[in-house]
Amino acid sequence: MNPEVKQEDTATVKKESTTPQGTERTKARKVYVPAVDILETDTSLLLIAEMPGVDEHGVDITIEKNILTIKGAVFDPVPEGYQLAYGEYGVGDYERSFTLTNEIDRDNVQATIKHGLLKLTLPKVKQHATRKVAVTVG
């Protein structure tokens, strides 16, 4: 295992999101912080967020200034024809924000979701080769 990789034990514990002081949510529903892995290559970052119960219709991804926000809404977690008799799994929506650096190409971000696993590809801005600028008299 790479000793530089930081891993936290988040197995089975869902952390509820907090609201900034002085604000309130518009929906009376729990909001959780999704667990996210961030992977990096020379050309991009890959964010993988766990949002069980969220499909392509419930995902909202925004980039405003340098803040990337992912939100996931869970619609009707109980299958049709059933009613919840006992529940241990906390059902709620998901929300998490990240500060982006200037090396991310905001115009070419791509996202996919399958089985509650959101994958965001954040390409890095292509670096221009360093060149020498000639100086003339005049």
The CATH number covering residue 62 comes to 2.60.40.790
Q: How many domains does the chain have?
A: 1
Least confident of 19-33, 37-51, 74-88, 103-117: 19-33
Predicted TM-score (pTM) of the model is 0.72
Percent of the chain with pLDDT over 70: 80
Torsion 5-6-8-14 (CA) sign: negative
Q: Among 27-36, 93-102, 126-135, whose mean pLDDT is lowest?
A: 126-135
Residue 13 domain flag: no
**The predicted structure's pLDDT at residue 99:** 96
Residue range(s) defining the domain that contains residue 47:
27-123
Q: Number of helices (H) and strands (E), helices first, in the chain?
A: 0, 9
100 found inside a domain: yes
Within a domain: 41: yes
Q: Is residue 61 part of a domain?
A: yes
Tell whether the model's pLDDT for residue 5 goes beyond 70.
no
The answer to whether residue 66 sits within a structural domain is yes
Query: Has residue 113 been placed in a domain?
Result: yes
Q: Is residue 20 included in any domain, yes or no?
A: no
pLDDT at 36: 97
Band of the pLDDT at 71, cuts 50, 70, 90? very high
Structural contact between residues 64 and 57, judged by C-beta atoms closer than 8 angstroms: no
Domain presence at residue 4: no
Q: What is the dihedral of CA 94, 71, 48, 7, to 10 degrees?
A: -50
Strands 15-16 and 67-72 come out as unpaired
What average pLDDT score do residues 57-86 get? 90
- How, if at all, do strands 93-99 and 31-33 pair? parallel
